Structure 1
Amino acid sequence: MSTEVPMYCCALLGETETGKTSFARRHLTGEFVKSYNGNKVYQTYLLEFHTSLGDIRYTLWNSNQIDDFDCLHIQCAIIMTDFSRTRTFQRVPVLQTAIQIRYGNIPVALCANKMDLGRSNGMAYRLIPDHPTQFEYFEMSVKKNVNCEQPFLWLSRRLLGNDQLEFVAKPAVQPPDIPPAHWRTAFKGLALSQLPPIGDDGW
């Protein structure tokens, strides 16, 4: 009996060149691809994670503009900033307010990418609400693959209502049940194929 996998619609927002597309591709392929898409057309990705409670999927909508998501039922959001550039944090309060107005009190992860550059400006901490329940801040490096799963782990815990949830490796697919008679026939055929050829004695 198949179990339906829960799927959530997630907005990925932030200034240009903060690593949004590279973040999405890191989750898709496991590789770091430095990519910048200068156009304003949104991009969509389907991501799947394996958890201690079963699989969970996200449709990740990547855009600079929240207006691109007007027709979508957004259930969670990731705001991407650059750890070393104060300018990329300036629009965060505007995005926080817009998300709250449009989609209600959904979980929002603020991610400061490029922490490998090692120059924190401290502005992110001033953007965290006094009593955050649906908001969390993460420092990460998509390039170095540091903390990249943490935003989705936190979002999954909030969406599924279980703070003990963990990401796990996908279980190996079990081989199908094959009747013993099939194996006997297969092994018999293999044994016959290993017999030496009958020589030609000139008869």
Structure 2
Amino acid sequence: MANNKDDVPKFKLILVGDGGVGKTTFVKRHLIAESEMKYASRLPVIVRPFNFYTNLGEIIINVWDTAGQERFGGLRDGYYIDAQCAIIMFDVTSRISYRNVSQWHKDIIRICGNIPIVLCGNKIDVKHRKLKAKSITYHRKNNMQYYDISALSNYNLEKPFLWLAQKLTGNDNLQFVSQIPLLPPEINLDPDMLREYELQLKEAASRPLTDDGDDDDEL
């Protein structure tokens, strides 16, 4: 591990998606000291440094949180500039938030080019989700990784960062060697429901992709 923070590899992550999908809740689940947070110059953005200790050493992923600014129109290009990876988040109880994933993706590609991107479907703790695994195909058509997550229950919160860290370092053998500090979960997920969702994701991954749209007829 590097002893000097200046020697630790640092990466910029942008977190995008419609307002209300749970982005700020997602980042606030991670315990970050207030003194470590920074505000981006000339942008209404909070930058939260996430420190990860891996088998290859320490890395820092600086998460840029818009704090809801996307509710008042599109994000400024300055938010995207120099980003090295991204998370696009939607709400599995909101069909429109999934349909808008394509626009968020286009904005990233336009400014950042081909960077590693994880697509996250949040709020799987809601029992009657509107977006089932078979309907979520955008990531498969656009070279992204996908995870079901639940910010309130802490489910899968580390997986997007692990996948991105592997891609950013170019080493798929990278693993976290210590637990990520999180707030205690606010809710507990039904284990049977989780097993069912995980099975559905595996089955969906084996289905052939169609050439037309994102299965909107099933949304």
Q: TM-score, normalised by structure 1?
A: 0.71
CA offset at residue 109 of structure 1? Answer: 0.8
Q: Which residue of 2 aligns with 1:138?
A: 147
How many angstroms does 1:42 deviate by?
Answer: 2.5
Which residue in the other structure is 2:204 paired with?
none
Decide whether the 8 Å contact of 1:42 with 1:68 is kept in 2.
Answer: no
Q: Secondary structure at the match of 1:143?
A: coil
Aligned to 1:121: 131
- Segments of structure 2 that go 5 or more residues without pairing to the other structure are 33-42, 180-219
Q: Which runs of 5+ in 1 are unaligned?
A: 30-39, 171-203
Using the aligned pairs only, state the percent identity.
34
1:60 to 57, 60, 63: 63
Aligned residues: 159
Which residue is equivalent to 2:94?
85
Q: Which amino acid aligns with 2:9?
A: P
The residue matched to 1:23 in structure 2 has which SS?
Answer: helix
Q: How does 1:12-31 map to 2 (within 5 A)?
A: 12-28=15-31
CA contact (8 A) 2:12 2:61 kept: yes
- Which of 76, 80, 102 aligns to 2:85? It is 76
Amino acid at match of 1:11: I
Shift of 1:44: 1.8
Deviates more, 1:120-129 or 1:20-29: 120-129
Cα displacement string for residues 49-70 of structure 1 (whole angstroms, at most 9, x for unaligned residues): 1111111101111123442535
SS of equivalent to 1:116: coil
Contact 2:92 2:130 in 1 (8 A): yes
| Cα displacement (A) at 1:7 | 0.3
CA pair 99-83 structure 1, distance change in 2 beyond 3 A: same
Residue 152 and residue 51 in structure 1: after superposition, are their counterparts in 2 closer, same or farther (change >3 A)?
A: same
**1:115 to partner: Cα distance:** 0.7
Greater C-alpha radius of gyration: 1
The alignment yields a C-alpha RMSD, in angstroms, of 2.4
Q: What's the TM-score once normalised by structure 2's chain length?
A: 0.66
Per the alignment, do residues 152 and 114 of structure 1 end up closer, same or farther by CA in structure 2, a change over 3 Å counting? same
